[in-house]
Amino acid sequence: MSSRESLLEKLVASQQLGMPERQRWGPSPVKIEEILAIVKRLLDRDGVFPVRAKKWNPGEPVFEGHFLVKIPNGEVELNWQRSLPIAPNELAEQFSSVYDSADRAVLAFIQNEWPRGIDGITFEGLGQT
């Protein structure tokens, strides 16, 4: 894995880069295809993206935001959930959509979760793919 790919994977997985990493990165633009490939690879590896995400179970804290889950039949489910503002262990809302294509599911995830990029780093081609 190249240094660029390592930095992009860290950005995608942790949703931030430290100052030394940003300095190594420089002004290089990020293409949406690079982000799609990384998210798909991590989803294939872990079965869920982000890896800490999961559907809410009563009594547990609610994972807030969008996340992807691989379904055994090859489809990918895009989920979103949030907790009650004063009760992080109580589900307030949730929805899910099933996609027959990992590419479409990952693109929908990126458009919903990172519409302006990640940690100030924008993506070229978002909305055009």
Residue 103 DSSP class:
H
In terms of Cα–Cα distance, which of 1, 36, 41 is closest to 126? Answer: 36
- pLDDT tens figures, 15-29: 888 888 877 776 777
Q: What is the pTM assigned to this prediction?
A: 0.89
* Tokens found for residue 97: 């959509």
- CB count in 10 Å sphere of residue 42: 19
* Whole-Å CA distances, 16 to 24, 43, 88, 106, 120: 14, 19, 24, 19, 9
- CB count in 10 Å sphere of residue 17: 19
The residue ranking higher by pLDDT, 125 or 60, is 60
Q: Look-up: residue for tokens 């793919």?
A: 129
122 CB-near residues (< 8 Å, 6+ apart): 30, 116
The CA R_g of the chain, rounded to the nearest whole Å, is 15
- pLDDT tens figures, 98-116: 999 999 999 999 999 999 8
Q: Is the pLDDT of residue 86 over 70?
A: yes
Tell me how long the chain is.
129
Report the run of H or E that residue 108 belongs to, with start and end: helix 102-113
